[in-house]
Each structure stands twice: as C-alpha cells, then as structure tokens.
Amino acid sequence: MPREFGRHQRLGAQIMRTLSELLRFEVKDPRLQDVSLTAVDLSRDLSVARVYFSLLNPDDSAEDALQGLEKAAGFLRRKLGGALQVRHVPELRFAHDDSAEHGMKISELIDGALRDG
C-alpha cells in the first residue's frame, strides 16, 4: 500500500520552507525582494528540484527575478545542504509561475462580462 505523503512531498515541502526563509532573511539581492515561492517539484531520483516562484508585485520583471535566483542558486544550495539531511542536495532550477496573474485576468474578464450582461 503506497504512503499517503511520500518522501518526494516531504522533501519538497522542506526545500520550499527552507528556501523561503533564506530568501526572506539571508539573500540581499534587491531583485528578490518581492519573490514568493509557490511550489517545488523534485525529479524522480531527487537530483533536480524545479522551484516555481511568483512576484508579489505583478508589475515587476519576472526575468530580473529569475536572473537573481539563478545567481543566488549556489548560495541557496549550499545553505540548503546544511538544513536538509540528505546525501545529495538537489540542483535548483527556477521557473516563473504566472498562474496568479492568469487567474486575475480571467477574473477581470468574468467581471467585465457580468457588468456588460
């Protein structure tokens, strides 16, 4: 019988918690000021962690934030290695999660349709 909450989910949740704390308290890059992590997907062999992020201010550039995260990846991975109890720390790959922006656009379209209808 499979576990309800397996190792992938536990490790992914721990990576997301730790990275969020590191971004908030230890990373000094101004490009990462308004970055919020939304999800972490681990590869099957736990060697790669795809970290999804969104921006608190939708007017900010996601490209700048992505460059800041990629520049800080080595620092974040080293700090993550001290916090996790795993043999190999996964490689961090970052991707912008624009689902919140997409949801806001859909909501605006629905509101506009209701007003016009």
- All residue ranges of the chain with pLDDT < 70 are 1-5, 117
Determine whether 32 is exposed, middle or buried from the number of CB atoms within 10 Å of its CB (0-12, 13-18, 19+): buried
Report the share of the chain in percent with pLDDT over 70: 95
pTM of the model as a whole: 0.81
Beta bridge partners of 48: 91
Q: What is the pLDDT of residue 2?
A: 55
Q: The domain 7-116: what is its CATH number? A: 3.30.300.20
